[in-house]
Amino acid sequence: MGYREQYEKWLKSPVIDEETRVRLQNLNDEKEIENRFYRMLDFGTAGLRGIMGDGLYMINKYTVRYATQGLADVIAAEGDRAKAGGCCIAYDSRNHSQELAYEAVKVLAANGIACYIFDELRPTPELSFAVRYLGATAGINITASHNPKEYNGYKLYWSDGAQIAPELAAKISHRIAALDIFADVKVLPEGKSSPLIKVIGQEIDEAYLQKVLEQSLNKDLVRRAADDFSLVYTPFHGAGYRLVPECLHRLGFKNIITVPEQMEVDGDFPTVISPNPENKEGFTAAIELARRNKCDLIIGSDPDCDRLGVLIRDGDDFLCLTGNQIGVLLLNYIIRTRQEQGILPVNAAACKSIVSTPMADAVCAKYGVEMFSVLTGFKFIGEKIKEFTQTGSHEFIFGFEESNGYLTGSYARDKDAVLAAMLTAEMALWYKQQGLSLVQGLRDLFGEFGYYKETVLSFSMKGVDGLLKMQKLGHKLRRDLPSQLGGSKLVSVCDLLTGETLDVATGKIDSTDLPRADVLFYHLVDGSQIVFRPSGTEPKVKFYIMLKAATEQEARVCETAFIDAVCALVDSFE
């Protein structure tokens, strides 16, 4: 069915409410109609994500109902036990998140599936925990993570607490495609209650916080030295506003200053350009508070509280750490502390995504910890935790992604900013007790392992034309291999779409052990890597630049050359 037919179908459907129908009738831009109706949003391992609005390629109550009916059918096919296990539903602070969460509940209940919905917004990792704690079959979180305010999304989890695997995503997607978006969707009538729906809250909070606090490595140090330490926290108007400060207080931190205007739950995110804790500009108010109160540390979580941003005092200024730098600092702290306390397992394992810093491998090698690199998406780290638990081959001690996601323990299977905030504060206090700042700690690591530097470049490609452009760019990068990038010679290319690695000089092709994915690695003669990957959650392509140099100055020069080379590649395509 073409986009025009879909558009007319929505206009004529008796299911569509009158306000939506009027807005659709007022659309007078043909390209806009095409962009909204040319297809359904992709249902992948991250579920759905898109701009909120009316249409098939948008996030709204009809597309959420549609996706939920597909999920309901898959759960029902598993039998009565799966239906009774039910689905746990959470939501974040975004506009319409609560409303969309209840739309999912209405579809699930209408299909005879038990529902557990939180009484207010909660962190994503708490949902991951709750799925396992309640023995639920599945979990849904209405969130678009750190994306701009126009976005919302539908994250789907399975009984292991991790986001759904590609095989299950394909199964649900296939079922959705077989349904009619209006005629085949069952919805609980407006105003009708159901005994299948249960509201959850404080009980889950308490059980979750207990598990997070169990991951602390220096409780006694915090209780003993917390008077001499202060920090600023901001939730960026999101779901961390309550549990992050609560967790820190329970561990023993006393001097916790929050950013008042950003503690307000608000889906418009009025005090920031984008609610992404990777970006320093969102921390302007926090930096002012930290300067005024002579604080040691600034931390901030994104709207669904699964990512953590960190700023550390560097003289009179505050340095915004990259996700990789936070990850390496935490990894080194966890391994070193465990070793000193005699609790580092002999089969200890850490995990990171394939686009995260190779510096983590060097840290693990020093301590004899095995590092596993997995595809981008924390669900793949979750799969490794599940594998280790089932086989007993390794004991998971830490996992991270360059996009500011961190986890220890196996209580959850998704990145957790509540946990990361606690461990980062504890680590900063530990360094302070050694007479060091986190800046000095990071520089010591660079001195020991070499200066690693990573940069991510994103290029937006929106709409129908954008998707085609993304595909064509990937094809060109695979077909027309550059001889060099940034002055460094290309030596090999690893293409996860084909599972092959090409030696450029000899033409020899070897297979790779990594799973298939739309990811392309350029390996350069100086040891640097440039990685191409279309985003799985936004209409953009990303290039990851990963390099190692002897000094910071040398790294900056190399970084500039590689950035120019990547921009030239994209410009030549356009």
DSSP characters for 352-375?
A: EETTS-THHHHHHHHHTPEEEEE-
Asked whether residue 536 carries a pLDDT value surpassing 80, the answer given is no
How much is the mean pLDDT over the chain? 95
Q: What is the DSSP string of 62-92?
A: HHHHHHHHHHHHHHHHT-HHHHHH-EEEEE-
CATH 3.40.120.10 range(s) for the chain read 39-200, 208-448
DSSP structural state of residue 283? G
Residue 513: pLDDT band by 50, 70, 90 thresholds? confident
C-alpha torsion sign, points 180, 183, 184, 187: positive
Q: Which amino acid is at 23?
A: R
Residue 44: pLDDT band by 50, 70, 90 thresholds? confident
Q: Using one digit for the tens of pLDDT, what is the confidence trace for 360-391?
A: 999 999 999 999 999 998 999 999 999 999 99
The DSSP bridge partners found for residue 511 are 500
Structure tokens at 494: 């690893």
Listed range (18-27, 174-183, 244-253, 466-475) with the worst mean pLDDT: 466-475
Instruction: Give the pLDDT score at 540.
Output: 86
Please identify which residue in the block is written with the tokens 């409303």: 99
Q: Using one digit for the tens of pLDDT, what is the confidence trace for 194-233?
A: 999 999 999 999 999 999 999 999 999 999 999 999 999 9
Rounded to a whole number, what is the largest CA-CA distance in the chain? 70
Candidates 3.40.640.10, 3.30.70.3040, 3.40.50.300, 3.40.120.10; CATH matching 39-200 = 3.40.120.10
- Percentage with pLDDT > 70 across the chain: 99
Burial class of residue 135 in the structure, from the number of CB atoms within 10 Å of its CB (0-12 exposed, 13-18 middle, 19+ buried):
exposed
Listed range (462-466, 476-480, 496-500) with the worst mean pLDDT: 462-466
Q: Using one digit for the tens of pLDDT, what is the confidence trace for 542-563?
A: 999 999 999 999 999 999 999 9
What number is the average pLDDT over the span 477-494?
A: 94
Burial class of residue 121 in the structure, from the number of CB atoms within 10 Å of its CB (0-12 exposed, 13-18 middle, 19+ buried):
buried
- Percentage with pLDDT > 90 across the chain: 91
Q: Using one digit for the tens of pLDDT, what is the confidence trace for 61-107?
A: 999 999 999 999 999 999 999 999 999 999 999 999 999 999 999 99
Q: Which residues are catalytic?
A: 145
Can you tell me whether residue 285 is helix, strand or coil?
helix
Q: Using one digit for the tens of pLDDT, what is the confidence trace for 405-423?
A: 999 999 999 999 999 999 9
The set of residues, in sequence order, having a beta carbon less than 8 Å from that of 564 and lying 6+ positions away, is 486
Asked whether residue 537 carries a pLDDT value surpassing 70, the answer given is no
At residue 531, φ and ψ (nearest 5 deg) are -115, 130
Residue 9: pLDDT band by 50, 70, 90 thresholds? very high
Strands 540-549 and 451-460: antiparallel
C-alpha torsion sign, points 180, 468, 460, 546: positive
Asked whether residue 463 carries a pLDDT value surpassing 90, the answer given is no
Measured in whole angstroms, the distance separating CA 556 from the mean position of its chain's CA atoms is 27
C-alpha torsion sign, points 255, 256, 259, 264: negative
Q: What share of the chain is helix, strand, coil (3-state, %, to 5)?
A: 40, 20, 35
What number is the average pLDDT over the span 397-411?
A: 97
Measured torsion, CA atoms of residues 328, 334, 340, 344, in degrees rounded to the nearest 10: -110
Q: What is the DSSP string of 436-500?
A: --HHHHHHHHHHHH-EEEEEEEEEE--HHHHHHHHHHHHHHHHHS--SEETTEEEEEEEETTTTE
Strands 395-401 and 297-301: unpaired
Residue 117: pLDDT band by 50, 70, 90 thresholds? very high
DSSP structural state of residue 267? T
Report the distance separating Cα 149 and Cα 72, nearest Å: 28
Element (H, E) at 165: none
Element (H, E) at 171: helix 166-177
306 half-sphere exposure, CB direction, 13 A CA radius: 29
The set of residues, in sequence order, having a beta carbon less than 8 Å from that of 176 and lying 6+ positions away, is 40, 43, 66, 67, 69, 70
- 451-573 placed in CATH 3.30.310.50: yes
Q: Which amino acid is at 407?
A: L
Structure tokens at 465: 């034309």
Q: Using one digit for the tens of pLDDT, what is the confidence trace for 293-316?
A: 999 999 999 999 999 999 999 988
Burial annotation 225-263 (CB, 10 A radius, 16+ → b, else e)? ebeebbbbbbbbbbbbbbbbbebbeebbbeebbbbeebb
Element (H, E) at 339: helix 323-341
- 208-448 placed in CATH 3.40.120.10: yes
Closest of 428, 379, 369 to residue 401, by C-alpha: 379
Q: Using one digit for the tens of pLDDT, what is the confidence trace for 418-446?
A: 999 999 999 999 999 999 999 999 999 99
Asked whether residue 574 carries a pLDDT value surpassing 70, the answer given is no
Can you tell me whether residue 192 is helix, strand or coil?
coil
Report the distance separating Cα 543 and Cα 469, nearest Å: 15
Residue 6: pLDDT band by 50, 70, 90 thresholds? very high
Q: Using one digit for the tens of pLDDT, what is the confidence trace for 258-296?
A: 999 999 999 999 999 999 999 999 999 999 999 999 999
CATH 3.30.310.50 range(s) for the chain read 451-573
Instruction: Give the pLDDT score at 514.
Output: 83
Closest of 122, 138, 6, 111 to residue 63, by C-alpha: 6
Instruction: Give the pLDDT score at 461.
Output: 82
| Stronger pLDDT, 289 or 535, i.e. the higher one | 289
Structure tokens at 382: 């979750």
What number is the average pLDDT over the span 150-176?
A: 95
